[in-house]
Amino acid sequence: MRVRKRGADAVKVLVVGSGGREHALVWALHRSPLVREIHIAPGNGGTGDLARNVPIPAEDVAALTAYAAQERFDLVVIGPEVPLALGLTDVLQAQGLRVFGPTAAAARLESSKAFSKDFMRAHGIPTADYAVFNSYDAALRYLDTHPAPIVIKADGLAAGKGAIVCRSDAEARAAVQQMMRDRIFGTAGDRVVIEECLTGQEVSVLAFVDGRRVAPMVLAQDHKAAYDGDRGPNTGGMGCYAPAPVLDAATLRRVVGEVLQPAVDGLRELGTPYIGVLYAGLMVSGDDFAVLEFNCRFGDPETQVILPLLETDLVVVMNACIDGRLDKIEITWSSRSCVCVVMASGGYPGSYQRGYEITGLDEAVQLPDTIIFHAGTKRQNGRVLTAGGRVLGVTACAEDLNDAIARAYAAVARIQWPGVMYRRDIGAKGLASA
């Protein structure tokens, strides 16, 4: 860990989480002259170069609270959705700590798909038609009169894999069976949302939020499916690029006015003001758009391509959100393009092996404008080993998208371990839209 001597006002930061998103957050925070020390709980095999890895799971609210109180951090940044849903922000704020991330009540926009859909309907936010079911039999009866294609979603958190797009009636009935009876997502599938299947292009619209105001980030486009051409099962995300040419400036203003601002206003009216990052996953078709889902934190892998393009100090932005003065700062973005290719373990998002040594990292990171964000890795006896499904986010920036893609894949080609898998078409949609 690097601890730097900086001014008396330099802050000590705790980042919660262990994935590529959290490595990107640590990387961005480490660049800030306002930061003197970073701890991350629990971190991964790459974060230890920039921060102190602390072996506390992101879901252990009690242990994290005790550690944060002991260390008296100036800022706590919560990366994943689970600790937000468990109320980590609430508990830390009760200790007098400054936290970047919404309360559990505000995070229901992500932690409950049923709450989110009902909230959107109540506040006139465009989204797909839907119905919510606690009963397996009732869900099947609904499918009798609503043929495929259709989408089945687990109500609770499922690590980004809880939505199944069903192309046939048999697939839809099987998805309900898997969620509600086989419990492939545990208690997250005790209730399901069944909604119409929208078509078009997906885009991730993330925004900083200070409780009242929103400041959208550069647009990103995630690649959820496991295989090239958007084939195969949904994953947590196999790659991303930014900026994505899916919305023009006028349409983005509409998204702010019709989606993001109504959500923030609605939560404030409920007595649960929203502070942090609000992420709307949209389906766009022509001039029309609808919300597929809300997430209540930075996306993964969207963070890995958005933060390298952020020119304003991230600490300044986070403090402005916490203090309710987002309108008092100017947030600027690079005009460059950024691409992240996720390298995953063979078999992901299903079963996979761990513990393979990763080679070529030192060579890859020496390439121009290239950053290797670790996700499912660990260090052991001087070696970096695979320790998860999504292992690395190989990220590169350039003046245009084509060059950024080339740079990212040049780095990918230098990294190896047995069974490694990755998509070879990350960013291709952006080139086709240009």
Q: How many residues does the chain have?
A: 434
Q: Give percent of the chain above pLDDT 70.
A: 98
CATH 3.80.30.20 corresponds to the domain 135-190? no
Per CATH, the number for 11-104 is 3.40.50.20
At 234 the pLDDT is 86
At 6 the pLDDT is 57
CB neighbours of 351 closer than 8 A, spacing ≥ 6? none
Could you give the angle at the alpha carbon of 416 between the alpha carbons of 410 and 421, nearest 5°? Answer: 85
**pLDDT (mean) for 285-295:** 95
Over the stretch 225-272, which tens digit does the pLDDT of each residue have? 999 999 998 899 999 999 999 999 999 999 999 999 999 999 999 999
Over the stretch 419-433, which tens digit does the pLDDT of each residue have? 999 999 999 999 988
Over the stretch 195-238, which tens digit does the pLDDT of each residue have? 999 999 999 999 999 999 999 999 999 999 999 999 998 899 99
pTM of the model: 0.94
* Contact indicator for 217, 206 with CB cutoff of 8 Å: yes
**pLDDT (mean) for 73-78:** 98
At 8 the pLDDT is 58
Superfamily the domain 337-433 falls into: Phosphoribosylglycinamide synthetase, C-terminal domain (3.90.600.10)
List the domain boundaries for the chain. Answer: 11-104, 135-190, 200-328, 337-433
Strands (DSSP E) contained in 18-94 are 35-42, 52-53, 75-78
At 42 the pLDDT is 98
Higher pLDDT, 336 or 164: 336
**Domain range 200-328, CATH class:** alpha beta
Q: What do you get for the CA distance between the two ends of the chain, in Å?
A: 41
* Contact indicator for 75, 100 with CB cutoff of 8 Å: yes
Confidence of residue 5 (pLDDT cuts 50, 70, 90): very low
On average, the pLDDT of the chain sits at 96
Could you give the angle at the alpha carbon of 78 between the alpha carbons of 55 and 160, nearest 5°? Answer: 95
